[in-house]
Structure 1
């Protein structure tokens, strides 16, 4: 059941209403943006909502089941608000979204909540983005707590892993560029795939401040999992730390950290469950 103020409830009973839709987006880096379908800016609850006729929402799907309710928001990329580089670099992944209705003539008179959730999948094509907004039920799709697994559940360098990342981090310089995902660096002197699954963070250039996971590394040639939003240029500086494939053997030999391995490497697999005496 949706609730609102007495003033707005009274306005909703009128034959003609002055309702507009507002979107409040809070990114994980703390940046908060406001957009509205109104033709001028509105201040609601201390945040200014900028006019954005480029946003087009689909119908909001609600149900009383435990499936994830969602809607799609389609918008035209705007350099003054949401940009392609920001979307491609993942700044909006998991951003908190609140969508509501408000009376444009009385923005302090209350709101009608339509949806609160998080941005899920984002697709880009020809200057247009489509962002999936997932409802609160999305939180129930996550696994909380520890689950048995032969692979390590910790992330390299976190409080459970306890590996000192600074001892496994090097700084490099881009020597040649193939595309937005592939480049070669100044000699780093590490074996092939030493940095695979490691995190590469750009220090200079158009991608400065952004981080991406390394997919593969052969000698000084790098391939990234995701294409960078901006061009990689010769001379760009970066840091990269060794990668971990979460296997016990890697934890033991590469990082000498077997004591902190957060997995069950000797746990019997499905083959042991299906096995029975006499079958070898």
Structure 2
């Protein structure tokens, strides 16, 4: 294995890779020319640099940041606004720009991205964050299972259809589909199969007059006729689970469990 920085002058450069949720992989390097390593072309981006990386030997979260200019062809303001980089996986490492030997120093996920005046910065979240998740389910009056997920047991294909987009309103962040006006789509999701936001999942937060209001910003460039995958929603209540889906046996909630307010109630008596 290549040992870096064991000499006064070293042929080392930084690289980072971004794996977007829509399947696009981007590679960058601080070197002054493109480098190909690990089967990925890393484009020269000296204006985009990772900040200090802190690695811990314990189970606490490692920390890192990345910042740069929005002038690079692969990092554009409209794509950041479209959410194409949300929750993208990222790797940061070091590469010998002569022999192309490389080593990964940090891996994780892109956190909140901030952009301002032609530049951006992003917090990176290491894979250790998984260890901070509470693995013990907490009680709740509504179902904790993901609709059509493993604990739910229902088939996603049964409640999913593909339709063509009829209209899109970027200003009000809503879409509509011909002949589709049903309250069962609230709490559901849509996913564009074409256009600038291909592969991104949008949650449906409301529906009125045939328009579906979405939970993340829409951008220009998605046009009527775009093929869209639509999945029905579930409000995660026992009544819906039992009457609409006949799936109460898989309900993951405690709708009849007394809440904390029971301790503060006045007993009274006659």
Q: What TM-score, normalized to structure 1? A: 0.78
Q: How far is the alpha carbon of 1:90 from its aligned partner? A: 3.9
- How far apart in 2 are the matches of 1:42 and 1:130? 23
- 1:151 maps to 2:146: no
| Structure 2 stretches lacking a partner, 5+ long | none
Question: Which residue of the partner structure matches residue 92 of structure 2?
Answer: 99
- 1:246 maps to 2:236: yes
Q: How far is the alpha carbon of 1:275 from its aligned partner? A: 4.5
Q: How does 1:251-270 map to 2 (within 5 A)?
A: 251-270=241-260
- How far apart in 2 are the matches of 1:142 and 1:89? 28
Given that 1:199 and 1:243 are in contact with CA atoms closer than 8 Å, whether structure 2 keeps it comes out as yes
Q: How far is the alpha carbon of 1:85 from its aligned partner? A: 4.9
Q: Which 10-residue stretch deviates more, 77-86 or 49-58?
A: 77-86
Question: Which residue of the partner structure matches residue 122 of structure 1?
Answer: 113
- How far apart in 2 are the matches of 1:45 and 1:182? 41
Q: How far is the alpha carbon of 1:266 from its aligned partner? A: 1.6
For residue 73 of structure 1, the aligned residue among 66, 72, 75 is 66
Question: Which residue of the partner structure matches residue 35 of structure 2?
Answer: 42
| Structure 1 stretches lacking a partner, 5+ long | none
For residue 202 of structure 1, the aligned residue among 170, 192, 196 is 192
Q: How does 1:125-204 map to 2 (within 5 A)?
A: 125-144=116-135, 146-169=137-160, 171=163, 173-175=165-167, 177=169, 179=171, 181-190=173-182, 193-203=183-193
Could you say what the CA RMSD is over the residues aligned between the two structures, in angstroms?
3.2
Pick closer, same or farther for the CA change 1:51–1:279 going to 2, 3 Å: farther
- How far apart in 2 are the matches of 1:34 and 1:157? 35
Equivalent pairs counted in the alignment come to 269
Pick closer, same or farther for the CA change 1:154–1:78 going to 2, 3 Å: farther
Q: How far is the alpha carbon of 1:122 from its aligned partner? A: 2.0
Question: Which residue of the partner structure matches residue 23 of structure 1?
Answer: 16
- How far apart in 2 are the matches of 1:131 and 1:180? 27
Q: What TM-score, normalized to structure 2? A: 0.81
Local SS of the residue matching 1:116 = strand
Deviations 1:72-118 (A, max 9, x none): 2113336743344544444433333222223323332x54x542222
Q: How far is the alpha carbon of 1:37 from its aligned partner? A: 0.4
Deviations 1:188-228 (A, max 9, x none): 242xx432210112345554544311111113022110012
Pick closer, same or farther for the CA change 1:37–1:279 going to 2, 3 Å: farther
Q: How far is the alpha carbon of 1:68 from its aligned partner? A: 2.7
Q: How far is the alpha carbon of 1:66 from its aligned partner? A: 4.9
- How far apart in 2 are the matches of 1:176 and 1:115? 40
Question: Which residue of the partner structure matches residue 3 of structure 2?
Answer: 8
Given that 2:165 and 2:175 are in contact with CA atoms closer than 8 Å, whether structure 1 keeps it comes out as no
- How far apart in 2 are the matches of 1:99 and 1:189? 46
